[in-house]
Structure 1
Amino acid sequence: MLYNTDAVVVKTVRYGEHSAIVTLLTPSGLVSAMAKGALKPQSRLAAGTRLCAEGTYFLYQGHGMGDIRQVQLTASRRRLHEDIEAAAYAAYFCDLALVSTPERPHAPTAMYNQFSAVLAALELRDQTPPDLLARVYEAKICNWLGASPDWGRCIRCTQPLVPPIAYHLKEGGLVCGVCRSDMDRTAEFVVPERTGRLLSVFTEVDVRRLGRIEVSPPTRRALDTILSHQLREFAGLHGRAKDVLDQIVQSLRFD
């Protein structure tokens, strides 16, 4: 069966001397396919099998793994390979997509649309800083995997948040000033008042309509810590990509 689908490359693994096994994120989920001869310098499949490449992929599906027969590229995302920081974030986003997206045809279209939009915004880098793009994508991953509480309400009493607000590591949500008096203070840390509002916005906003975001350093640190904990402890995502990203970003700051 020959079929075509829009897709973004989220993983490429060498197979033999000149071929590659490519994992594609499509509007209906992940699919893996063989790209025969794609690693040859003059291969017509070479550009379409690089990480973050996006386009229309023509695949033949027989028994077992399918074959990529042709690619009509719409975005090569060249800048994401040339800029060290952008490349690190792109690799992290691809890793998140790999571990969170169901196989085709079981994923919602939003997982493809928002991932594509995040990569496009990362490449342009004209309004949203890459660390905040990461927080937006992480918030969406938490929501899709059922690891996202109502960030605008207290995780304990479910009422609108009243400061001073804290994030509770065991409860996996924000706690209002009233409920904090009855909870284990050793498992929480106080967060800026704007944190809940931003988490709600990041969860719901369409990345394609994301404008300029101004966030203070303390709030950025809180968002990073909260979402990293939610992904690890409540979504069950334990990949090392975030640690690698943090190391690269930290090293660039000292250059």
Structure 2
Amino acid sequence: MLYNTDAVVVKTVRYGEHSAIVTLLTPSGLVSAMAKGALKPQSRLAAGTRLCAQGTYFLYQGHGMGDIRQVQLTASRRRLHEDIEAAAYAAYFCDLALVSTPERPHAPKAMFTQFSAVLDALELRDETPPDLLARVYEAKICSWLGASPNWERCIRCMGPLVPPAAYHMTEGGLVCGPCRRDVDRSAEFVVPERTGRLLTAFTEVDVRRLGRIQVSPPTRRSLDAILSHQLREFAGLHGKAKDVLDQIIRSLRLD
């Protein structure tokens, strides 16, 4: 069966001397396919099998894994390969997409459209800093995987987040000041007042309409810590890509 689909490359693995197994994120989920001869210098499939490439992919599906027959590229995203920081974030985003998206045809279309928009914003880098772009994408993944509470309500009493609110690592949400008297203080950290509103906004905003975001350093640190913990402990995503990203960013800051 021949079919075509819009897709973004989220993983490429060498297969033999000249071929590759490519994992594509499509509007309905992940699909893996063989790209025969794609690693040859003059292959017409070469550009379409690079990480973050996007286009229309023409596939033949027989028994087992399908074959990529043709690619009409719409975005090569060269900057995501040429800039070290952008490449590190792009690799992290691809890893998140890979471990969080169900196989085709079981994913909601938003997992494709928002991922594509995140890569576009990362490549342009005109308004949204890459670390905040990462927080936006992480917040959305938490929501898609059912690991996102009501960020503007206390997870214990469901009332307003009367300050000083804190993120509770065991409860998996924000706890208001009065309720903090009844929880284990060793498993919490106090968060800036805007944290809940920002987490809600990040979850709901369409990345294609994302504008300039100004967030203080303490709030950035809180958002990073909260979403990293939510993804690991409540969404079940235990990949090492975030650790690798953090190491690269730290090394770049030292240079």
If the TM-score is normalised by the length of the shorter chain, which range does it land in?
over 0.9
Q: Which amino acid aligns with 1:89?
A: Y
**2: CA distance between counterparts of 1:234 and 1:108?**
20
**1: CA distance between counterparts of 2:178 and 2:205?**
29
Question: What is the SS of the residue equivalent to 1:136?
Answer: helix
The offset of 1:161, in angstroms, is 1.0
**2: CA distance between counterparts of 1:183 and 1:248?**
36
**1: CA distance between counterparts of 2:43 and 2:156?**
58
Query: Which whole-Å deviations, capped at 9, do the CAs of 1:109-148 have from their partners, x for residues lacking one?
Result: 0000000000000000000000000000000000000000
Name the residue aligned to 2:144: 144
Question: What is the SS of the residue equivalent to 2:9?
Answer: strand
**2: CA distance between counterparts of 1:216 and 1:104?**
39
**1: CA distance between counterparts of 2:155 and 2:40?**
54
**Structure 1: stretches of 5+ with no match in the other structure:** none
Q: Which amino acid aligns with 2:74?
A: T
Q: Which amino acid aligns with 2:229?
A: H
**2: CA distance between counterparts of 1:12 and 1:53?**
11
Task: Report whether the alignment pairs 1:69 with 2:37.
Answer: no
The offset of 1:16, in angstroms, is 0.4
Correspondences of 1:4-19 after superposition (within 5 Å): 4-19=4-19
Correspondences of 1:209-228 after superposition (within 5 Å): 209-228=209-228
Task: Report whether the alignment pairs 1:232 with 2:229.
Answer: no
**1: CA distance between counterparts of 2:59 and 2:178?**
57
Task: Report whether the alignment pairs 1:253 with 2:221.
Answer: no
Task: Report whether the alignment pairs 1:21 with 2:21.
Answer: yes
Name the residue aligned to 2:157: 157
Query: Which whole-Å deviations, capped at 9, do the CAs of 1:177-211 have from their partners, x for residues lacking one?
Result: 11111111111100000000000000000000000
Count of matched residue pairs: 255
The offset of 1:72, in angstroms, is 0.3
Correspondences of 1:170-209 after superposition (within 5 Å): 170-209=170-209
Q: Which amino acid aligns with 1:18?
A: H
TM-score (norm 1): 1.00
Name the residue aligned to 1:108: 108
Q: Which amino acid aligns with 1:121?
A: A
Task: Report whether the alignment pairs 1:30 with 2:51.
Answer: no
The offset of 1:160, in angstroms, is 1.6
**1: CA distance between counterparts of 2:162 and 2:211?**
28
Name the residue aligned to 1:128: 128
TM-score (norm 2): 1.00
Query: Which whole-Å deviations, capped at 9, do the CAs of 1:142-190 have from their partners, x for residues lacking one?
Result: 0000000000100000012111110001000000011111111111100
**2: CA distance between counterparts of 1:183 and 1:91?**
38
Q: Which amino acid aligns with 2:31?
A: V
Percent identity of paired positions between Structure 1 and Structure 2: 89
Name the residue aligned to 1:94: 94
Query: Which whole-Å deviations, capped at 9, do the CAs of 1:215-254 have from their partners, x for residues lacking one?
Result: 0000000000000000000001000000000000000000
Question: What is the SS of the residue equivalent to 1:12?
Answer: strand
**1: CA distance between counterparts of 2:227 and 2:2?**
40
**2: CA distance between counterparts of 1:175 and 1:230?**
15
Q: Which amino acid aligns with 2:200?
A: S
